[in-house]
Chain A
Amino acid sequence: MISIINIGMNHESAPVEFRECLAKDPENVSYALDFIRDSDHLREGFFLSTCNRVEVFCICDDPESARQVLVDMLSRLSNMPEENLIPNLYFFQGVEAVKHIFRVAASLDSMIVGEPQILGQIKDAYRQTVSESHTSGVVLNRLMHRAFHVAKRVKTETGISQAAVSISYAAVELAKKIFYDLKDKKILLIGAGEMAELAATHLISNGITSLTVANRSFERALNVAEKFNGKAVLWEEIETSLLEGDIVITSTASTEYVVVYDTLKGLLKKRRNRPIFFIDIAVPRDVDPKINDLGNVYLYDIDDLKDIVEENSEQRRQEAVKAERIIAEEVIRFGNWLQTLEIVPTIAALKEKAESIRKTEIQKSLSSLGDLTPSQIEAIEILTLSLTDKIFNDPVLVLKQKAGSKSKDNYLNITRELFNLDKEMDN
């Protein structure tokens, strides 16, 4: 009896120090895949390692020993004794494992639910599994393709990936609704807090390349600028920098407004009214709220952003229910397919198919043969029966021979495809 097992760790099961130990080295992936290929307990295997999670999926005959082998492998990879590692891991088996990979691919298990990167990471890891280590077989191939299919369904049928649920993410989404293309836009950081850096990181990962930092301490400004390949300006240069910047993130500790209405109003004409987007994450606020009334000026402060995030989280919770329903459906579908990968049901399906063909053909012929005596009809029955039996005898024998072998799944899969036994289950 084949079984799918999954061992992994994510942001919930393990603190970041543990995840780092496994994620840091790209060599780990090839090591793990080689290990899986060479192990006698594992028939197929897939290994994924990102900064937020590690996932191993294996197809095996004996889940207990397979699990032991994999824990051993992870412990060697992370240089951590097993007893420290195990509390940070989760284990799934059978339909639970299937459900888990579907949830991960659909980004329901992510730290930021709905974030799109994870699917790309799984696809890359799967590509490596197929082309380099050749550790994927019939079951894993099908499992991964179903996972991609599920992710696509969740994406198109639910709104889960649409709503931004972190403040910096929400800021990026807003910027995308104001500007057509972020690539040629310029960021201006006024004050360089951690949140401001996070927002800047998000914007940069969305294609912005130009960044300017102004800070009361010029040294700090230089440090941050260096980090983002940007440039630092003096505090006194803020006004001229406002002429250039398109997205301004303010996060100073100042108790007075750093950007005041009258100054900005005077600058707008020199900017030729190019839109400017202020993200004010400072408390107390750095930007005069009145400036939102100016044409082509958009201001969101930390509370506005929090409101968006909250609203989106609620919306996402509702969409997540829909997504879980899709996943439940697909898990059942996959489970049904998995059951067919056994010798006995396949042979039964094969015989059933032969018998149904035989019956329909006899039905068709009898009507055109005219009146036949009972013995003639019986002769036809015997003739067709022995025909189908003889034709299917060899395939059935081969399948029975393969019962214990490693290539069993392959033979079953090919048989089912050749004789079209799964017609109603695909799609």
Chain B
Amino acid sequence: MDQILFTIALILMLVASCGFVAFIIVQKKRIFSVSYRVLEVGFAFHTVFLIHNWSTLGILPVLGLKSALSSFAWFITLVYFIFHKRFGLMVLGSFVTPFVAVMMILYAMAPGTELIIKPALKSAWLWIHVLTVFAGDGMFVITFMASIMYLMQERQIKKKFHGSIYSRLPSLESLDAINRSSLIYGFCFLTIGLITGALYAQFAMGSYWQWDPKEVWSMITWLAYAVLLHGRLAVGWRGEKAALLSIACFIVLLFAFIGGGLLFSSYHSFSSLIGGTGS
């Protein structure tokens, strides 16, 4: 059942991504609106899939790297919808949806099963921790995409070479505004995520901070984004500099997300949390 739901969601996501990419090439509004509808339906299936997993596992499917990929993909889509409503930039989807589609394919290919947590560790703090971290990371994906789009567009304007990308991308100022606003929201969510994580650690393990590799990398990520945000708000960084730093921060974040889960052994890397495997 959940397999079918996910497959439908994945197929719809792939169709929507192809549609969005086709839209950027041929510039037909119809293709965009159809793709957007497809994306909405796919998102609905994905949502049902997650709820179904939740009810069979008893917890949100977010603990293993595999399930984290799927939930993260869902969050990025959600954040994309919000930013689309807010800024109405049609090309954003052409950059974000392929990224999401790749995450979903990785999920489908990744080995492993859904993990269940030891009942002793269940707590509302855990949900808030996980959800806010995901929301924050989803925002940072948008920051990252807007930065790439910014650099592409600025290059065209500075080099005075106006290729096909030039007419398809929005103005520098709007890309910078998306970068800024997703950065601010992402940082707020990440901060709440880290604080609730610490509180949860105190509740579950009796210590706020354990120098666990994932904790350390999350802190490094947080600090990197903190420097960027400070630079933007207080010093007045913007444009190319802000875009390059956003990309650097995102690489740190990816490392924390994937590396933290795979490379190091820690209680965040799921072996110590597991109370059994789900079906």
Nearest CB of B to A206, in Å: 13
Q: Say yes or no: is A304 at the interface (Cβ < 8 Å to chain B).
A: yes
Closest chain A residue to B159, Cβ basis: A292
Residues of chain B within 8 A of A178, CB atoms compared: 157, 171-173
Given A174-B157, A272-B236, A273-B236, the answer on whether A180 and B241 have CB atoms closer than 8 Å is no
Residues of chain A within 8 A of B3, CB atoms compared: none
Q: Say yes or no: is A339 at the interface (Cβ < 8 Å to chain B).
A: no
Complex contact A300–B173 (CB within 8 A):
no
Complex contact B160–A304 (CB within 8 A):
yes
Closest chain B residue to A181, Cβ basis: B173
Q: Say yes or no: is A275 at the interface (Cβ < 8 Å to chain B).
A: yes
Complex contact A176–B171 (CB within 8 A):
yes
Given A178-B157, A269-B236, A295-B239, the answer on whether A308 and B162 have CB atoms closer than 8 Å is yes
- Bitwise, B153-179 to A at CB < 8 A (1) or not (0) is 100011010100011001111100100
Which residues of chain B from 225 to 250 have any CB-CB distance to chain A below 8 Å in the complex?
Answer: 236-241
Given A177-B157, A178-B157, A304-B160, the answer on whether A275 and B240 have CB atoms closer than 8 Å is no
Residues of chain B within 8 A of A411, CB atoms compared: none
Residues of chain A within 8 A of B160, CB atoms compared: 300, 304, 307-308
Complex contact B171–A180 (CB within 8 A):
yes
Which of B170, B239, B240: most chain A CB closer than 10 A?
Answer: B239
Tell me the bound Cα distance from A174 to B241 in angstroms. 21
Residues of chain B within 8 A of A304, CB atoms compared: 160
Closest chain B residue to A170, Cβ basis: B162
Q: Say yes or no: is A336 at the interface (Cβ < 8 Å to chain B).
A: no
Residues of chain B within 8 A of A298, CB atoms compared: 157-158
Q: Say yes or no: is A162 at the interface (Cβ < 8 Å to chain B).
A: yes
Q: Say yes or no: is A179 at the interface (Cβ < 8 Å to chain B).
A: yes
Tell me the bound Cα distance from A273 to B210 in angstroms. 41
Nearest CB of B to A191, in Å: 23
Tell me the bound Cα distance from A273 to B240 in angstroms. 11
Residues of chain A within 8 A of B170, CB atoms compared: 180
- Bitwise, A274-306 to B at CB < 8 A (1) or not (0) is 110000000000000000100110101000100
Complex contact A180–B157 (CB within 8 A):
no
Tell me the bound Cα distance from A274 to B177 in angstroms. 12
Nearest CB of B to A319, in Å: 13
- Bitwise, B165-201 to A at CB < 8 A (1) or not (0) is 0110011111001000000000000000000000000
Instruction: Give chain B's interface secondary structure class.
Output: helix
Nearest CB of A to B176, in Å: 8
Complex contact B173–A275 (CB within 8 A):
yes
Tell me the bound Cα distance from A298 to B153 in angstroms. 12
Tell me the bound Cα distance from A298 to B239 in angstroms. 12
Complex contact A296–B171 (CB within 8 A):
no
Tell me the bound Cα distance from A174 to B166 in angstroms. 10
Complex contact A179–B236 (CB within 8 A):
no
Tell me the bound Cα distance from A172 to B265 in angstroms. 57
Tell me the bound Cα distance from A304 to B167 in angstroms. 17
Tell me the bound Cα distance from A90 to B85 in angstroms. 51
Nearest CB of A to B29, in Å: 8
Partner pick for B172 among A162, A177, A181, A307, CB 8 A cutoff: A177
Closest chain A residue to B172, Cβ basis: A178
Tell me the bound Cα distance from A44 to B171 in angstroms. 47
Complex contact A180–B236 (CB within 8 A):
no
Tell me the bound Cα distance from A298 to B241 in angstroms. 15
Residues of chain A within 8 A of B167, CB atoms compared: 162
Closest chain B residue to A300, Cβ basis: B160
Residues of chain A within 8 A of B172, CB atoms compared: 177-179, 275
Nearest CB of A to B172, in Å: 5
Tell me the bound Cα distance from A232 to B157 in angstroms. 30
Given A298-B158, A304-B160, A308-B162, the answer on whether A179 and B240 have CB atoms closer than 8 Å is no
Complex contact B239–A296 (CB within 8 A):
yes
Residues of chain A within 8 A of B238, CB atoms compared: 272-275, 296
Which residues of chain A from 121 to 152 have any CB-CB distance to chain B below 8 Å in the complex?
Answer: none
- Bitwise, A179-221 to B at CB < 8 A (1) or not (0) is 1110000000000000000000000000000000000000000
Residues of chain A within 8 A of B157, CB atoms compared: 174, 177-178, 298
Tell me the bound Cα distance from A311 to B164 in angstroms. 13
Residues of chain A within 8 A of B153, CB atoms compared: 177
Tell me the bound Cα distance from A179 to B176 in angstroms. 10
Nearest CB of A to B186, in Å: 21
Nearest CB of A to B43, in Å: 28
Closest chain B residue to A162, Cβ basis: B167
B interface, CB within 8 angstroms of A: 153, 157-158, 160, 162, 166-167, 170-174, 177, 236-241
List 12 extra interface pairs beyond A275-B239, A295-B240, CB under 8 A.
A177-B157, A177-B166, A178-B172, A179-B173, A180-B173, A180-B177, A269-B236, A272-B238, A292-B158, A296-B238, A296-B240, A311-B162
Query: What are some 26 contacts across the A-B interface (CB < 8 A)?
Result: A162-B167, A174-B157, A176-B171, A177-B166, A177-B171, A177-B172, A178-B171, A178-B172, A179-B171, A179-B173, A180-B170, A180-B171, A180-B173, A180-B174, A181-B173, A269-B236, A272-B238, A273-B236, A275-B172, A292-B158, A295-B239, A295-B240, A295-B241, A296-B238, A296-B240, A311-B162
Closest 4 CB pairs of A and B: A272-B236, A180-B173, A180-B174, A296-B239
